[in-house]
Amino acid sequence: MLSKTLIAELLKFRSVRDWEQFHSARNLASAISVEAAELLESFIWASDNQVAEIAGTRHTEISDEIADIAILLTYLAHDLSIDIDVAVKNKIQINAEKYPVEKARGSNKKYSDL
């Protein structure tokens, strides 16, 4: 997802501030949840028809929340020795098996209901 150079920059940013002490897996997972809620707040009470306009008028705010989530997720993955690219590739394969095209195309049903 992020380049190795950007990950190194993030880790240095955290290290020079001595923030690793606050970044337990539980704390990072909690912070990701909070930031995801802040992202969702941009769209609260909006109708589906309003989403595009909100995404345009609040683009910077939304971008900042997405960045916060990506940063925290990068810290968590690093600290747990999880390669996000490998994890995503593995999950795509798992989902391909759960959601075969012939059953899932155009459907919003959970794999157990296909």
Tell me, what's the pLDDT at 30?
A: 98
User: For the chain, which domains are there?
Assistant: 1-82 (1.10.287.1080), 83-114 (no CATH)
The pLDDT tens digits of the residues spanning 52-75 come to: 999 999 999 999 999 999 999 999
Model confidence pLDDT, tens digit, residues 15-49: 999 999 999 999 999 999 999 999 999 999 999 99
In the predicted model, what is the mean pLDDT of residues 99-114?
94
- For residue 113, what pLDDT band results from cuts at 50, 70 and 90? very high
CA atoms of 20 and 14, how far apart (whole Å): 7
Within 42-106, where are the H helices?
51-57, 59-79, 84-98, 101-104
Is residue 39 within 8 A of residue 66, CB to CB? The reply is yes
3-state DSSP assignment of residue 43 = coil
Residue 2, pLDDT > 90, answer: yes
Helix (H/G/I), strand (E/B), else coil: 3: coil
Q: How far apart are CA 38 and CA 61, in angstroms?
A: 10
CA-wise closest residue to 42 among 22, 24, 63 = 63
Q: What percent of the chain has pLDDT over 70?
A: 100
What six digits make up the tokens of 52?
């595009």
**Token output for 67:** 């960045």
Q: What are the backbone dihedrals phi and psi of residue 67, each rounded to the nearest 5 degrees, phi first? A: -60, -45
**Two tokens, residue 102:** 């012939």
Query: Is the pLDDT confidence value at 1 over 90?
Result: no
User: What integer is the mean pLDDT of 66-94?
Assistant: 98
Q: How confident is the model at residue 112 (pLDDT cuts 50, 70, 90)?
A: very high
